[in-house]
Chain A
Amino acid sequence: METVHKTQTFKTVDLIYSALFATLIMIGANITSFAPFLTVGGVPITLQTFFAILAGLVLGSKKGAIACTVYMAIGLAGAPVFSKFTGGFSAILLPTFGFIVTFIVSAYIAGKIAETYKTRLAYIIAALIAMAINYILGTTWMYFAYTLWAAAPEGFSYKLAWFWMIPPMPKDIILAIFAGFFAFRIQKVLKILPIKQS
């Protein structure tokens, strides 16, 4: 499986890893339809961000970022891969589309940290940093999307955009820590990136 042709920029197996991980993110975004117990207090937990961060931690920076790019691309092309089985080019108009775009950056940075430090603690910190990046860039995008598409007047401020993002925050911090633990465990089995037992 290690043959790389001169004409190839990627190893074939790496290509498929990224492609299948994009599909896995789709499963994560809609996990509640397979595992109904993940609905807490009527609010379904989506593992979309969780899986996007996993893409970086498990596959590494480059492949992880590519997996998130592919995920975004097939969603825009109309496959029902975003949460609640939505998809289609009109998703680009949603103010929350920024979070999906930011997955690419989050996965890349999470992957870079995991590649450099290799320990379980590094995986957890990487996941938390990736989640923070996702929040910051996603919310900023949301603010600009409102000002661009809705031509929102002065009443809508950057602070207000953040105000909406506070309620899901504790849940996402828990998910990020879980992502770090889980990615390290999976990495032990899959051995795509080298890890250091501590």
Chain B
Amino acid sequence: MEKMIFGRYIPGNSFVHKLDPRSKLLFVFAFIIVVFFANNTLTYGILLAFTLIVILLSKIRLYFLINGLKPVIFLMLFTLILHLFMTREGPVLVDLGFMKIYEEGLRQGVYISMRFLMLVFMTSILTLTTSPISITDGLEVLLNPFKKIKLPVHELALMMSISLRFIPTLMDETDKIMKAQMARGSDLSAGPIKDRLKAVVPLLVPLFISAFKRAEDLATAMEVRGYRGGEGRTKYRLLKWHAKDTIILVALVIMAILLWMLRG
């Protein structure tokens, strides 16, 4: 259950772990844009070196990063193959008779998969080194300016925290209901899709009713304790902006300028 609350977060004490969630969020958003600046070997090299430095600073075991690649590995291979066979520019490298691989195709394929790899690593590092709750706290502060256009920032952050808190509770609940229905002898094993969907009803109805009852109880409890919206509310977890937060953002800006000047 512990795993469910923290998600992909791996507690640690590295440089990246200790950064403020706000700076990490800003960094990753900016990085997603900066990645598209690179378009030749030199600029891709710089990006890759930069990514490697961040990986080293985060002290995340490579296993976890590779794990994060799993869902996108298909997309990366697809991209590589697509470019390998579809781009027809430059000298021919391999001639298979029925198919030719061109130099430009190989180059583009490798560049685009590298871009993808770096994006996945950077975004994974964000969630591997920052707990969902601190990301929520960071988002609340970063989105504050949007309150002016009536975006309910405080409410969203609060709902995120509550939702995160109830993940293990509702999972337990679902498990319990499932076992209770099995104990009553409900037949859930086989049949066509229609029968199986019917069998879900006795699982879902109690789940919904109990979740909504829980919601009402929680709302009452909050109001009794004087919850009245975000205005003037103080925080239990305080965020602190250190010099290193400024440093990584400056480093990213410098790299972005460098890439912009060196791109072909």
Q: Are B170 and A12 in contact (CB under 8 A)?
A: no
Task: Out of A3, A22, A149, A154, name the residue touching B223 (CB < 8 Å).
Answer: A3
- A34 touching B201, Cβ below 8 Å: no
A77 touches B219 (CB 8 A): no
Interface residue A166 (Cβ < 8 Å from any Cβ of B): no
- A40 → chain B closest CB, angstroms: 6
Q: Total interface residues on A, using CB and 8 Å? A: 69
Q: A24-B207, A27-B174, A74-B160 are in contact. Are A92 and B199 (CB under 8 A)?
A: no
A70 & B7 in contact (Cβ 8 Å cutoff): no
Contact B199 A174 (CB under 8 A): no
Interface residues of A in 48-88 (CB under 8 A from B): 58, 66, 69-71, 73-74, 77-81, 86-88
Whether B167 pairs with A20 at a CB distance below 8 angstroms is no
Structural contact, A16 and B123, CB atoms closer than 8 A: no
Among B52-60, B67-75, B248-256, the one that faces the other chain is: B67-75
**C-alpha spacing A150/B159, complex, angstroms:** 34
| Complex-state Cα separation, A80 to B156, whole angstroms | 19
Q: How far is the CA of A101 from the CA of B238 in the complex (A)?
A: 30
Which residues of B137-175 have CB atoms within 8 Å of chain A's CB atoms?
139, 152, 155-156, 158-160, 162-164, 166-167, 170-171, 174-175
Q: How far is the CB of B50 from chain A (nearest CB, A)?
A: 18
Counting CB contacts under 8 A, is A156 at the interface?
yes
The smallest beta-carbon distance between A19 and chain B, in angstroms, is 4
The A interface, classified by DSSP as helix, strand, loop or mixed, is helix
Which stretch from A107-115, A120-128, A182-190 is at the chain B interface? A182-190
Chain A residue contacts of B156, Cβ below 8 A = 66, 69-70, 73
Q: Who on chain A is nearest to B3 by CB?
A: A80
Given the known A-B contacts A20-B211, A88-B8, A94-B71, are A37 and B132 also in contact in the complex, defined by CB atoms under 8 Å? no
CA distance in complex: A34, B108 (Å):
44
| B82 adjacent to chain A (CB < 8 Å) | yes
A153 to B84, CA, bound (A): 10
In the complex, residue of chain B having the shortest beta-carbon distance to the beta carbon of A31:
B200
Task: Name the contact of A26 in the complex, choosing from B71, B82, B167, B190 (C-beta under 8 A).
Answer: B167
Q: Which listed residue (B7, B87, B205, B207) contacts A80, Cβ 8 A?
A: B7
Q: Nearest Cβ in chain B — how far from A128, in angstroms? A: 16
Q: Which residues of B contact A155 (CB under 8 A)?
A: 82, 86
In the complex with contacts A1-B216, A35-B200, A150-B78, A81-B160 CB distance below 8 A: no
Is there contact, CB below 8 Å, between A74 and B200? no
Instruction: Indicate whether B130 reaches chain A with its CB closer than 8 angstroms.
Output: yes
Please state if A151 and B112 are interface contacts (CB–CB under 8 Å).
yes
> A165 in the interface, Cβ–Cβ < 8 Å?
no
Instruction: For B219, give its contact among A15, A24, A91, A174 (CB under 8 Å).
Output: A15
CB distance from A116 to the nearest CB of B (A): 23
Indicate if the CB atoms of B4 and A13 lie closer than 8 Å: no
Q: A19–B159 contact, CB under 8 A?
A: yes
B180 on interface, CB distance cutoff 8 Å:
no
Q: How far is the CA of A11 from the CA of B219 in the complex (A)?
A: 9
B198-217 Cβ-contact flags toward A at 8 Å (1 or 0): 01110111011101101110
Are B68 and A88 interface neighbours, CB within 8 A?
Answer: yes
Given A35-B188, A38-B200, A78-B130, A20–B214 Cβ distance below 8 Å?
A: yes
A and B contact pairs by CB, cutoff 8 A, 28 listed: A1-B223, A9-B155, A13-B215, A13-B219, A19-B160, A19-B162, A19-B166, A20-B163, A20-B214, A21-B211, A23-B166, A23-B167, A24-B170, A35-B188, A37-B188, A38-B200, A70-B156, A73-B139, A77-B139, A79-B7, A79-B167, A87-B7, A87-B8, A88-B126, A90-B68, A90-B119, A151-B108, A156-B82
Kindly list the 4 A-B residue pairs having the minimum CB-CB distance in the complex, ordered from nearest. A78-B127, A8-B229, A13-B219, A5-B228
